[in-house]
Amino acid sequence: MDAILIAGRDVAHHDAVLRQVLDRAQSYNLKLNFDKVKIRKEEVPYVGHLISAHGLKPDPTKVEAMKNMPAPEKKDDVRRFLGSVQYLAKFLPDLAEVEEPLRHLTLTKKDTVFHWDKPQENAFQRIKDLCCTAPILAYYDVKKDVKIQCDASKNAVGAVLLQEGKPIAYTSQKLRTSELNWSPIEKELLVIVFSTEKFREYILGKETVTMMLKVKVKGYDLKVEYLPGKKQVIADTLTQQKEPMMPSKTPDYPWAEAASDIFTFKSKNYEVTELNDLSAFSTIEALKGHFERHANGEAEAALCVGRRLRTNLPISRSLLEPEAYNTNDIKRRMRHVKEKQTYYHNRHGTKELSPLKPGEHVRIRPEPGSKLWRQATVVDHHSSPRSYIVDTGQQKLRRNRVALKLDPGRSTVEVTENDYVTNDDMSHHETLDNPNPASVPPAHHPSRSG
């Protein structure tokens, strides 16, 4: 057995504890090497530290080794030096900030050339000086109050744990690449999170005061409270939520359903149809022209899709199925793809949003190029899943539930059936579809359609 440490409040207490340890060792037939025993010492080296009645100090042999270490000549030497100094990190304030010029040399990028210049030499010597002048750390007392003093600089964050004004431990960390561009107040909040996580074992269950060296919010009387997300109604209106995916049914045969993305585009290299508005009627009329132009003759179109074409005349569904391949296998693979997409979409924090009722006040997600969440009132459910008809006061729009956020600041109003009327004046930028399902004309299939 090795490295048994015994301490006492005074000599009498020390001797009493020592007697108990020796009796326990003898009862279990444990043999101790008395050539290595040191009794009634004011300070003793223990696992790389020097423990004394005044506090915790770094082992002088470790400090001497750091002091005599030669300047690095290659990247591996720098890594070895920075790795060695981490053993003394708890004694060294702002270590991450000081060692930044050296860490830059350890980058694994091939284009990073080892170049030892004045900034690196200054950092190297500064770290040595910190090791030689390391402060004595006080022992943590679970009964005493705890304070954390922290600060954020351009390249790093650092903190010190204090009890009665005496340091218990230091910690620091360089900023990640993404964090370097954060604003000062964001870095100050980051260092609070960093320090509380580092000193978790010391402050867990204790009231802790965090002191910032450069406080940008000084002068404000602020109180930070935790509020569960489900109760953050106002803030939640400004966040984008993701609902579980609702995959469409796999069609029974090719071209049974058609979908189209509508976007703004300027080019002469593509066939583009300009839409006067985004209503279902205008979209269907534009798509009919495309289908007709690309079906140059019934025979050619039949060869293209690999089956007979659908016309205005009644036809058996079996005749519309392709003969060149197994439709059941195609549908099985399509279902598998949809199930896979649904699985990966739904596993990352999706939730079904609460349904809206007619008369409830909402905010509409801003249109592209705008930051304004417009006020509106729910009129009724739309026939499409998760869709609603909302009234902005100027026109009625169809919007998906994810684009509508409750506005609790206004009271609910009563909506009558007469309020649900079609607005034929819907502009291009204000609506996604005709708000009245009954007003959308049925899809007319041309004689040579797929």
Tokens of 32: 């101790």
Has residue 180 got a pLDDT over 60? yes
Is 59 within a domain? Answer: yes
Q: Is 31 in the same domain as 102?
A: no
Q: Is 221 in the same domain as 145?
A: yes
Q: What is the total count of domains within the chain?
A: 4
Q: Is 106 in the same domain as 187?
A: no
For position 226, what pLDDT does the model report?
56
Listed residues 113, 133, 153: the one ending a domain: 133
User: What is the SS3 assignment for 187?
Assistant: helix
Is 224 within a domain? Answer: yes
Render pLDDT for 220-247 as a digit per residue (tens, 0 to 9).
555 555 555 445 444 444 445 678 888 8
CB neighbour list of residue 306: distance below 8 Å, 6 or more residues apart: 254, 322, 323, 324, 325
Has residue 196 got a pLDDT over 70? yes
For position 295, what pLDDT does the model report?
55
Helix 75-85 / helix 118-132 crossing angle, nearest 10 deg: 20
Give the predicted TM-score (pTM) of the model. 0.46
Measured CA distances, 125 to 70, 81, 120, 158, 412 (Å): 10, 12, 9, 20, 70
CA distance 42 to 8: 11
The proportion of the chain whose per-residue pLDDT surpasses 70, expressed as a percent, equals 76
CA distance 225 to 227: 6
For position 42, what pLDDT does the model report?
82
For position 431, what pLDDT does the model report?
47
Q: Is 195 in the same domain as 160?
A: yes
Is 269 within a domain? Answer: no
Is 328 within a domain? Answer: no
For position 433, what pLDDT does the model report?
40
Has residue 311 got a pLDDT over 70? yes
Tokens of 346: 């739904």
Q: Is 118 in the same domain as 29?
A: no
For position 376, what pLDDT does the model report?
93
Element (H, E) at 15: helix 11-27
Name the residue with higher pLDDT: 419 or 94: 94
Please say whether the beta carbons of 81 and 65 come within 8 A.
no
Please say whether the beta carbons of 401 and 382 come within 8 A.
no
Q: Which range marks the domain in which residue 20 is found?
A: 1-40
DSSP 131-154: HHTPPPBPPP-TTS-EEEEEEE-S
Is 338 within a domain? Answer: no
Average pLDDT, the chain: 77
Render pLDDT for 122-163 as a digit per residue (tens, 0 to 9).
988 988 888 888 888 888 888 888 888 888 888 888 888 888
CA distance 348 to 351: 9
